[in-house]
Amino acid sequence: MLHDSASLETHPEPVRGLNVMIVTPDDTLRSHVTTYLREHGCRAIGADRMPAMGRLQSEPFNLLVLDAQLDPIDGFEALRRVRAVSELPIIMITQNRRDEIDCVVGLELGADDFLAAPLNPRELLARGRAILRRIGRSRFFDAENRSGGWRFIGWELRRRTRTLTDPSARVVDLTRNEYALLCTFLEAPRQALSRVQLMRATRPHEDTFDRSIDGQVLRL
């Protein structure tokens, strides 16, 4: 169970934007970020360690900012526990900009984004809004499965000709692997697919641990 005795800093202003929980043992960072977010119309609550899971589920938070350096459980363990029961968007804070291992581990455990300390509150706010816009769009995403392909938010993928057209009816060129990757996503709407699943779908006869799939997803 996550701790329920965290030291919290509350603010009475009405909610007008992001509803954020910032969890970091760094008092200065926590104060700086919460102050900035409140000044920009957000409801921001700070904690020096993870609060009880019940608080995250009972209050209308739509973003969790989680420091990797926590005690007595670290941020990655806290992330794992939150992600096991919630789809709450999470931005992780890492202390080392060059520590790619932290980023990879965090993303594999379900983090939505990563920021390195010293943290820029303006960038945090922009990334938080971007995550929520992306989630908001996905709620209205419906891929209409037709006999000849799919239609989704103005785009159309025709299976017979293997062509993709954008909302203005222009043809978008796809490589063989990009076409297979897009079909895989459309066949599994609102599902989280692992790197191995994507590799098997697009390159069934190649090494399923090839990191090049990351670049393909980014381009697509």
pLDDT digits (tens, 9 = 90+) for 144-173: 666 577 877 678 888 778 888 877 778 888
Q: Read off the pTM.
A: 0.57
Other CB atoms within 10 A of residue 21 CB: 25
DSSP 194: -
- Return the amino acid letter for 136: G
Return the sign of the alpha-carbon dihedral for residues 197, 200, 201, 202: positive
The pLDDT assigned to 107 comes to 82
Measured distance CA(169)–CA(218) in Å, rounded: 23
| pLDDT over 70 percentage in the chain | 76
- Return the amino acid letter for 151: R
For the residues 125-151, what does the mean pLDDT come to?
Answer: 69
Higher-confidence residue of 188 and 173: namely 173
To 10 degrees, what angle do helices 176-186 and 195-202 make? 130
Q: Residue 51: pLDDT above 60?
A: yes
Q: Is 45 helix (H, G, I), strand (E, B) or coil?
A: strand
Residue pLDDT, tens place only, 77-121: 999 988 888 888 999 998 765 566 777 788 888 888 888 888 889
Other CB atoms within 10 A of residue 196 CB: 11
